[in-house]
């Protein structure tokens, strides 16, 4: 209990004193996870909507693969990305292993199936007659997709929260592809692991609490937007 209290005190101290190292870690965490979430939205919503509207042999198998991807272990993603970006790997010539860019790639791979799965469910649960009504009004295929996405915006906001929550709290892949380099690729989760391994439990708890507060703040904003958009 004393360790937890020390961690709370340390978290307050780090935030109130505007500790430059901690705030740089927070900024990098938001930059990497925010970018990965935005990219995953583009691919996830697009592919999820396409999969919901398309009809072809093997669709159920593809949906099963997507559902499996929603629970993809981060360390598996980290291993795959590391092999691909290794100096002798297929993409090694880019030289981006152990950089924030590699972390964004790994986190995008983690978040995309989550966003895709929720988007698929959101579009599929819209009334079937809605599509027919939109097409009857002369809408093009692209206009149909845009209208359906607008109708499903509330669950799609949940996809944003789920995708962001999945990557901001991720640690395995981030360490494997980012290297946890001070001032360059160290984020809140990897810093917490490092401080724990060094026995600095008060700082580790402080960083964990800051991560929780950050996640709560972001999700509170998204939840507020979601509830404001809800039909009354």
pLDDT in tens, 183-223: 899 999 999 999 999 988 888 899 999 999 999 998 898 88
CB 208 within 8 A of CB 200: no
Q: What is the mean pLDDT of the chain?
A: 89
Domain residue ranges of the chain, discontinuous segments joined by +: 2-229
pLDDT in tens, 44-63: 999 999 998 888 898 899 99
Q: CB count, 10 Å around CB of 164?
A: 26
CATH superfamily of 2-229: MetI-like (1.10.3720.10)
Query: 114: pLDDT confidence band, cut at 50, 70 and 90?
Result: very high
């Amino acid at each position: 209990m004393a360790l937890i209290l020390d961690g709370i005190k340390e978290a307050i101290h780090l935030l109130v004193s505007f500790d430059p190292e901690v705030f740089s870690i927070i900024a990098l965490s938001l930059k990497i996870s925010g970018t990965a979430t935005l990219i995953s939205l583009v691919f996830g919503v697009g592919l999820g909507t396409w999969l919901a509207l398309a009809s072809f042999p093997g669709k159920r198998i593809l949906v099963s693969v997507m559902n499996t991807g929603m629970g993809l272990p981060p360390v598996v993603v980290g291993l795959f990305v590391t092999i691909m970006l290794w100096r002798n790997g297929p993409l090694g010539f880019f030289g981006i292993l152990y950089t924030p860019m590699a972390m964004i790639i790994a986190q995008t791979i983690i978040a995309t199936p989550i966003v895709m799965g929720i988007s698929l469910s959101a579009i599929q649960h819209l009334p079937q007659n809605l599509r027919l009504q939109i097409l009857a009004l002369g809408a093009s295929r692209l206009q149909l997709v845009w209208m359906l996405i607008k109708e499903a915006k509330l669950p799609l906001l949940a996809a944003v929260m789920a995708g962001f929550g999945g990557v901001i709290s991720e640690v395995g892949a981030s360490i494997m592809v980012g290297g946890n380099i001070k001032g360059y690729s160290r984020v809140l989760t990897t810093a917490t692991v490092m401080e724990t391994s060094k026995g600095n439990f008060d700082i580790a708890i402080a960083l964990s609490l800051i991560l929780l507060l950050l996640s709560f703040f972001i999700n509170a904003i998204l939840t507020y937007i979601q509830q404001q958009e809800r039909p009354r």
